[in-house]
Amino acid sequence: MNLITYLTRIQFGAGAISVLAEELALLGVRTPLVITDQGLVATGLIARVKDMLPGTVALYDGTPGNPTEAAVLDAVAVYRRDGCDGIVAVGGGSSIDLAKGVALLATHPGPLDQYAAILGGVARISADMPPLIAIPTTAGTGSEVGRAALITLTDGRKLGFISPHLIPNVAICDPELTLGLPPGLTAATGMDAISHCIETFLSPRFNPPAEAIGLDGLARAIRWLPKAVENGADLEARSEMMMAALQGGMCFQKGLGAVHAMSHPLGGLEAPRLHHGTLNAVLMPAVLRYNEAYCGDKYARLRGAMGLAADADVADFLADLNVRLGMPQSLSAMGVPAECLPAMIAGAVKDHSTATNPRPMAEADYATLFEQVWA
């Protein structure tokens, strides 16, 4: 187990979950609210977590597949009812993002939408937050060290909430917790990590340390994701993928791009319910082709990190990787109806990730891309 301090405190390694009680004590938390989902409760992991902790432990296990404003409000009610003074998020990005929303509204007045980045909410989020520990059980989102939360509001908008005050106080990254992930979810979350490393690297903002971390995370994910999908019991592959996901999250400070600007409104659809990592996998090749002429020598550096030949096509490689991993090949194959695309285009134009795409994006650009990835 290794202690890392970059943006926040990170306990990383097999068995790292054993330090949970110690980390809560360091934060002065006596009555934590554990935020998770019913699937993890059924595995017995949450009972194990509760057994590690002395005193009273509250539980909210209603996290939906994509976190919602309604779930945030329900969990805040549990937090207040049980007199909680801290939060432990256990699960994938949905549980961790939901926990960030709960931490926000536990100390800040509603409504939630006033804190959304595109509505000028970044400056409204203060340091007045309850302590939050994030324990990821997937290797993909990087939310355990990210400053953002994506939450679907009651009116259907999926908005980003961004602030350094939303970064969890502690991330406990134990790759043993990912050993039970099925191959399909391993692939989807792994492609999510790849999308984070690539998009943050290509962001035009100046942040060389973030770029270096992104390239290293990308190299790990390209090497180890197929192995983790093929053999879910391979702890080395699981550890490398958890580190790649962590590194993708460390890069978020540099911004994302059109892949995420497109996947965010798609993720807000009530039907079909779409997995964020799968969406990013499907969208990424088309966006990379669209951006390449605007990225200078960065695609050569991507090829180097990915172990590709100097004349290899990065987008084609990722499209082939999607096939190898069993990812769907289009939005229509995922059940996305063509009639919803105009609303998705409008949502992408407004999304906060559009600002850091290397190629300036207008409505017509997104219309072209959505047409390409739908068919």
Q: Quote the distance between the C-alpha of residue 148 and its chain's center.
A: 9
| Mean predicted confidence (pLDDT) in 85-99 | 96
Question: Domain tally for the chain?
Answer: 2
CB neighbours of residue 310 within 10 Å: 7
**Is the pLDDT at 347 greater than 90, yes or no?**
yes
CATH code, 87: 3.40.50.1970
Structure confidence at residue 157 (pLDDT):
86
Helix (H) or strand (E) holding 50: helix 45-52
Same domain, 138 and 255: no
CB neighbours of residue 58 within 10 Å: 19
What whole-number distance in Å separates Cα of residue 165 and Cα of residue 162? 8
Return all residues near 205 (Cβ < 8 A) that are at least 6 apart.
254, 255, 356
pLDDT, tens only, 236-268: 999 999 999 999 999 988 899 999 999 999 988
Same domain, 155 and 232: no
**Is the pLDDT at 119 greater than 90, yes or no?**
yes
Same domain, 166 and 193: no
DSSP 62: B
CATH code, 281: 1.20.1090.10
| Mean pLDDT for the chain overall | 95
**Is the pLDDT at 59 greater than 80, yes or no?**
yes
Burial class (CB in 10 A: 0-12, 13-18, 19+), 272: exposed
Same domain, 191 and 299: yes
Structure confidence at residue 162 (pLDDT):
93
In this structure, are residues 87 and 37 in contact, taking their beta carbons and an 8 Å threshold? no
Same domain, 116 and 151: yes
Domain boundary residue among 118, 146, 177? 177
DSSP 9: E
pLDDT, tens only, 179-215: 989 999 999 999 999 999 999 999 999 999 999 999 9
Structure confidence at residue 293 (pLDDT):
97
Structure confidence at residue 54 (pLDDT):
86
Same domain, 160 and 187: no
pLDDT, tens only, 323-333: 999 999 999 99
CB neighbours of residue 364 within 10 Å: 10
pLDDT, tens only, 123-159: 999 999 999 999 999 999 999 999 999 899 999 888 8
Confidence of residue 283 (pLDDT cuts 50, 70, 90): very high
**Strands across the sheet containing 86-91:** 2-6, 8-12, 170-173, 132-136, 86-91, 32-35, 58-60
Same domain, 73 and 199: no
Helix (H) or strand (E) holding 159: strand 158-162
Same domain, 147 and 268: no
| Mean predicted confidence (pLDDT) in 220-230 | 98
Same domain, 35 and 154: yes
Confidence of residue 5 (pLDDT cuts 50, 70, 90): low
Same domain, 231 and 335: yes
Same domain, 303 and 192: yes
What whole-number distance in Å separates Cα of residue 17 and Cα of residue 23? 10
Domain that holds residue 171: 2-177
Confidence of residue 1 (pLDDT cuts 50, 70, 90): low
Structure confidence at residue 3 (pLDDT):
63
Kindly give the pairing relationship between strand 132-136 and strand 170-173. parallel
Structure confidence at residue 4 (pLDDT):
56
**Is the pLDDT at 113 greater than 90, yes or no?**
yes
Domain boundary residue among 177, 199, 234? 177
Q: What percentage of residues in the chain have a pLDDT greater than 70?
A: 99
Give phi and psi for 33, each to the nearest 5: -100, 120
Task: Calculate the alpha carbon distances from 231 to 132, 178, 220, 222, 344 in Å.
Answer: 32, 12, 16, 15, 36
In this structure, are residues 69 and 149 in contact, taking their beta carbons and an 8 Å threshold? no
Structure confidence at residue 252 (pLDDT):
83
What whole-number distance in Å separates Cα of residue 227 and Cα of residue 372? 30
Structure confidence at residue 350 (pLDDT):
93
Domain boundary residue among 125, 156, 177? 177
Same domain, 69 and 113: yes
